[in-house]
Amino acid sequence: MTKIISVVGARPNLMKAAPVIEALRRRSGVTVMLIHTGQHYDREMSQLFFEQLGLPKPDLDLHVGSASHGEQTGQIMIRFEPVLKQENPDLVMVFGDVNSTVAASLCAAKMNIPVAHVEAGLRSFDRTMPEELNRIVTDHLCEFLFTTEPSARKNLLKEGIPEEKIHFVGNVMVDTLLKHRERAQTLNFAEKLGLPLCGYALLTLHRPSNVDDPETLTNILDAMWEIGKRLPIVFPCHPRTRAQLPALAERLPWLKGENLAAEKRIIITEPLGYLEFLSLMNSARFVLTDSGGIQEETTVLNIPCLTLRENTERPITVEQGTNILVGNRRDRLWAAADKVLSDEAHEGRIPELWDGQAAERIAGILTGRSSG
């Protein structure tokens, strides 16, 4: 009997965990315990995703909640260690690059429990990003490193990771997208917002480098208001970002509710469920984002993606996909959007092994029933 504890803590983790847990539970002799750290936990940010992705209710919720990086990481470790002592799993599996990922990995490694990292080896080479530090530390604690693209293997080898620990399996987020794409299309969520297919852009913003500095966020939103003259922008607003908006009302008078409603250039919504967001993304003219996962999803959907960052840990989305790094300056954002609207965006192609079977490959490797 193989006992695996799978740890999630934020929405992107759920999209990655769902197909892997499903694939493992189809294998005889394998039990999977699902633990949610509570790093992000409200209905829109987590519970709705559990429902839509068909994930079972977590076996345990650590109820950590929001806090500073140090406090959140420490609290996860304090609450997770007794669980490991009690359950004594054969393996701990972590996903992505959030604080839950590194905290669970540290706990397990200190107790000599093997750790598997799904989405290993990605590097932005920007150590001012907390996620970058989480990725590096996690990868050096793991026995199984499951990679999504060739650059990840090169990064891990360069850091001295033994080659036998590295397994190129493809992208589990693509597994989830392909499984749910048809269902999402039937929602016609753009139509519910009164928007025509391919007649709007979609915006997400949450990274501290973009939303915590008032000057930077003002420049970004000012650019969005100008782009909104050409086509409306749907903006599902992350709680971190929404908290910053009231302070910008003097700089950006259009942020006041009556102006937004009258102009309809930017349509601000609450955070959306996975299916609603996928429905919107699938029908968008282009996407503007600072999210890592959305760079991958737009590549699979062949939708132009303008990434509001100077770097990416997913270079294959630029080299082969539809992603363009545009930073967060007003002039660059406007120029990039104008290029897309003039039909000058480059065509992308789907990377190797982004075929909806990554989770099956992972399950096979972990149960010793296929080669890595």
**pLDDT the model gives residue 258:** 64
Structure tokens at 365: 């490797």
- Exposure on the CB side of residue 289, measured as CA atoms within 13 A: 24
List the chain domain ranges. 2-170+354-366, 183-341
- Exposure on the CB side of residue 294, measured as CA atoms within 13 A: 27
Region 346-372: mean pLDDT is 88
Region 265-279: mean pLDDT is 94
Over 80: is that where the pLDDT of 50 sits?
yes
Structure tokens at 353: 């092994």
C-beta atoms surrounding 127 within 10 Å = 10
The pTM of this model reads: 0.94
pLDDT category, 47, cuts 50, 70, 90? confident
Do 2-170+354-366 and 183-341 agree at the fold level? yes
Domain 183-341 top-level CATH class: alpha beta
**pLDDT the model gives residue 221:** 95
Region 90-107: mean pLDDT is 98
**pLDDT the model gives residue 41:** 60
H/E stretch holding 362: helix 358-366
CATH for 2-170+354-366?
Answer: 3.40.50.2000
Q: Catalytic: 40?
A: no
Q: Tens of pLDDT along 183-198?
A: 999 999 999 999 999 9
Structure tokens at 358: 């990554």
Q: Tens of pLDDT along 203-251?
A: 999 999 999 999 999 999 999 999 999 999 999 998 889 999 999 988 9
| CA dist., res. 346 & res. 334, Å (int) | 17
Q: Tens of pLDDT along 166-185?
A: 999 999 999 999 999 999 99
**pLDDT the model gives residue 371:** 40
Quick one: which of 171, 122, 173, 117 has its CA closest to 145?
Answer: 117
- Which of 40, 206, 238, 346 is labelled catalytic? 206
- Exposure on the CB side of residue 84, measured as CA atoms within 13 A: 25
Structure tokens at 49: 């995703």
